[in-house]
Amino acid sequence: MSKATGFLKEFRDFAVKGNAVDLAVGVIIGAAFGKIVDSIVRDIVMPLVSWILGGQVDFTNKFWVLRLPEGYTGPMTYADLTKAGANVLAWGNFLTILINFILLAFVIFWMVKAINAARHKPEPVKEEKPAAPPEDVVVLREIRDLLQQKKDTTL
């Protein structure tokens, strides 16, 4: 068998192994789950934060302009500034992504905790007879008992 054929066989074996397929499924589900968390932050958490803070708070459009392109007179929105090539520090977008990460980590923590609890259900305790002591312990006990009997008879 040539090296190329051996390499292709080895690659095929790797690609169809359970671990590689499990990893691919995990990545796909993770991407979909990320969209869910993004929607939770954008559609539920951020409106609640805005309401608590008493106004319209949209962190995704919070930024500091570090440098404008020469002669720029257009709108001062994040999308327009980045399109024009301005140097923009988008701290609000970072904050939104950080909130997404914290929520995602929290949800995954609880999912793993639930899965581990389901996997490790305690088995009912069975009443078993105590295991027989090893043979050397039995012999030592017999010697001890014989010595005790000999001691008691000599007194």
pLDDT of residue 144: 92
Q: Is residue 19 part of a domain?
A: yes
Q: Is residue 91 part of a domain?
A: yes
Helices of type H across 41-60:
46-53
- The C-alpha atoms of residue 22 and residue 3 are separated, in whole angstroms, by 28
Nearest to 61 by CA among 43, 34, 82: 82
Residues 12, 4 contacting (CB under 8 angstroms): no
- The C-alpha atoms of residue 46 and residue 52 are separated, in whole angstroms, by 10
Query: Is the same domain home to 44 and 97?
Result: no
92-104 pLDDT, tens per residue?
A: 888 878 877 887 7
Residues 87, 66 contacting (CB under 8 angstroms): yes
Query: Is the same domain home to 2 and 48?
Result: yes
Residue span of the structural domain in which 24 resides: 1-54
42-72 pLDDT, tens per residue?
A: 788 778 877 887 776 667 778 898 888 888 8
124 to 115, 121, 127: CA distances (angstroms): 20, 9, 10
Q: Is residue 145 part of a domain?
A: no
Query: Is the same domain home to 48 and 66?
Result: no
Q: Is residue 146 part of a domain?
A: no
Query: Is the same domain home to 117 and 80?
Result: yes
122-151 pLDDT, tens per residue?
A: 677 777 777 888 898 889 999 999 888 888
The overall longest dimension of the chain from CA atoms, in Å, is 117
- Whether the model clears a pTM of 0.85, i.e. scores above it, the answer is no
Query: Is the same domain home to 65 and 43?
Result: no
